[in-house]
Amino acid sequence: MVIKKRGLSPIVATMLLIAIVIVIGLIIFLWFRGITEEAITKFDGTNIKLVCEEVSFDASYSSSSESLFIANTGNVPIYKMKVKVTGEGSHTTETLQGGWPDFGLSQGGTFSGGIAESAGANKLLLIPVLIGHSDKGDMAYTCEERHGYEIII
């Protein structure tokens, strides 16, 4: 009694190889697409990440009136400001809204206002948000936390 063993037909094997190559190519394409991000520029083509190094501002917080004071002392306009409020074992991040200028805080500009989530906070980290140009138009870019200004309450 002879048992015939049959493998995959050459057509099925070829289709499987083509499918594997397409899937691997798609994975590599999506990986490269995720690596390259759209460049946001400011000041004659300078990458906005480098402009964050040039942002300079002073800030203070008055706990008696629960008011935050910010003065732009640099040459880079600050479009918005994010505030990371750190309390007992937790933190929240909010964007300053009330009283913040519509077109941002230009050179020499000042801001004073309150923070919604300041109750129970022991540290504030002010993170500047800049606006730059890209192929899709003007876009906001939040600088990294290392460019922020820390206030201990």
> Mean pLDDT over residues 105-111, rounded?
88
Give the bridge partners for 105, in sequence order: 78
Residue positions counted in the chain? 153
- Does residue 25 fall inside a structural domain? no
Q: Report how far residue 127's alpha carbon sits from residue 148's, in angstroms, rounded to the nearest whole number.
A: 4
Could you give the number of structural domains in the chain?
Answer: 1
Check residue 37 and give its pLDDT: 65
Query: Domain range spanning residue 106?
Result: 41-152
| CB atoms near residue 133 (< 10 Å) | 15
Torsion sign across C-alpha atoms 32, 134, 45, 106: negative
Question: Domain with 58 in it: what CATH number?
Answer: 2.60.40
Residue 7 lies in a domain: no
Residue in 151, 122, 141 with CA at minimum distance from that of residue 55? 141
pLDDT of residue 1 exceeding 90: no
Residue 52 in any domain: the answer is yes
Q: Is residue 62 part of a domain?
A: yes
Is 28 within a domain? Answer: no
Q: Is residue 23 part of a domain?
A: no
Ramachandran region of residue 10, left (φ > 0), alpha (ψ -120 to 50) or beta? alpha
Domain membership of residue 27 (yes or no) is no
Q: What is d(CA 27, CA 145) in angstroms, rounded to the nearest whole number?
A: 32
Q: Do 41 and 132 contact (CB within 8 A), yes or no?
A: yes
Is the pTM for the entire model greater than 0.95? no
H-only helix segments in the chain: 10-35, 48-51
Higher pLDDT, 133 or 21: 21
pLDDT per position as a tens digit, 36-92: 666 777 767 788 888 889 899 999 888 777 788 999 998 889 999 998 888 887 888
Percentage of the residues of the chain whose pLDDT score is greater than 90: 24
Instruction: Please determine, for residue 24, whether its predicted confidence score (pLDDT) is greater than 70.
Output: yes
**Given this model, what pLDDT does residue 32 score?**
83
- Name every residue whose Cβ is closer than 8 Å to that of residue 34 and which is 6 or more positions away in sequence: none
Q: Is residue 124 part of a domain?
A: yes
Q: Which residues are within 8 A (CB) of 45 and not within 5 positions of it... i.e. 6 or more apart?
A: none
